[in-house]
Amino acid sequence: MGRPYTEEERAELKIRIKELAADMFIQQGFKEFRIQQLTKQAGISLGGFYTFYKDKEALYEEILRDEKNRIRRKILTIIEEENQTPNDFFMDLAKVLLDKTTSNKFYTNEYSSLLETLVWNDDPVTAEDNLYFIRQIRKIWADKGIDISASDEELASAVAMLAILCTNKEKIGAGFDSCYQVIEKLLLDQL
């Protein structure tokens, strides 16, 4: 048995584990991710991994929470510093979602995706968290004199609708562009 880690070493190692795991999840997806491969890259034993996380699901969910919070901080900063309007926000969001859902397995994972964490409203805690985020965005716009007629719930649903559309682009096929244009028009008319 190795020596125990100091608190500083534990904090540094946990960051390293999450960074390595995030890269692996992005490249491989949840299903193909192997803890043994992670521990080898991190230079720790399998038992060492379990001193930090119960299982790969717990690790994955912590990484998702961290990434969700990072993305939300970035969105708020962009809206505030770049004076992004609601129309600009939803147009940029759709572009980012289209890009990420085709290039990053973190966004479309078979276990639990970043999109689910960011936008789905299917449980009360997530729904309230999403509404709180929408209220933060709305406050920035209100402080800039931009009034939005849609309710917080409608805005949260619009974000979820964009995510659903973008994650199903391949299934929708040739009709995607026309479907996207209809949703875009409906969405922008509500703002």
Question: Which residue ranges make up each domain of the chain?
Answer: 1-53, 66-190
Q: Which CATH architecture has domain 1-53?
A: Orthogonal Bundle (1.10)
pLDDT tens for each residue of 105-147: 666 655 555 555 566 656 777 778 888 999 999 999 999 999 8
Structure-token pair, residue 89:
């926000």
Q: What is the pLDDT of residues 97-113, one digit of tens each?
A: 777 776 666 666 555 55
Distance in angstroms (rounded) separating the CA atoms of residues 151 and 187:
12
How many helices (DSSP H) and strands (DSSP E) are in the chain? 10, 0
37 C-beta neighbours (distance < 10 Å), count: 14
User: Which amino acid type is present at position 184?
Assistant: E
- Count Cβ atoms below 10 Å from residue 11 Cβ, excluding itself: 11
Predicted pLDDT at 120: 60
Q: Which of 21-30, 46-55, 74-83, 120-129 has the lowest mean pLDDT?
A: 120-129
pTM above 0.75, yes or no: no
**Alpha-carbon torsion 125, 127, 129, 132, what sign?**
negative
